Amino acid sequence: MPEKTDVWQGTLALMVLKTLDTLGPLHGYGIARRIEQTSGNLLSLNYGTLYPALLKLEQEGSISSEWGSSENNRKAKFYKLTRAGRKQLEQETQNWEQTTAILARFLSPSGGAA
């Protein structure tokens, strides 16, 4: 079994935003599970770290929250992406792609000299 990687600082917010973008309104537990599953169980996510991140995103206006009922009728707080959050997601996706593209060039066999 391969070693699980910790979630890198700052990438959790992006994962949350993307999850909400894909799945629509979702509760904290659902977001955590989705992140874990999407990573193919390669990420070890301490569920507890998700909530401060959600709080921060909500304070910054990227997401909003509302109490509702889950599919199996449990009360849960649902988070959804706001318009500002969608914009932030676009921006951060772009930044991330740029960063990974740059790194990929360095790490490619030709050593970036191409």
Binding mask 31-50 for other proteins (x = CB under 8 A): --x------------xxxx-
What gap in Å lies between CA 22 and CA 50, rounded to an integer? Answer: 18
- In the complex with other proteins, which residue's Cβ is closer, 77 or 105? 77
Q: Is 52 in the site for other proteins (CB under 8 A)?
A: yes
Q: Is 9 in the site for other proteins (CB under 8 A)?
A: no
The tokens describing 61, both together, are 């206006």
What gap in Å lies between CA 54 and CA 14, rounded to an integer? Answer: 11
Considering only 1-9, 13-21, 25-33, 93-101, which stretch makes contact with other proteins by CB under 8 A? 25-33
Q: Is 57 helix (H, G, I), strand (E, B) or coil?
A: helix
- In the complex with other proteins, which residue's Cβ is closer, 19 or 62? 62
Q: Is 86 in the site for other proteins (CB under 8 A)?
A: no
Neighbouring-strand partners of residue 63: 81
Q: Is 43 helix (H, G, I), strand (E, B) or coil?
A: strand
Q: Is 58 helix (H, G, I), strand (E, B) or coil?
A: helix
Q: Is 114 helix (H, G, I), strand (E, B) or coil?
A: coil
CB of 74 to other proteins, least distance (A): 5
Interface ranges with other proteins (CB under 8 A) = 27-30, 33, 46-49, 51-52, 55-56, 59-62, 67, 70, 72, 74-77, 84
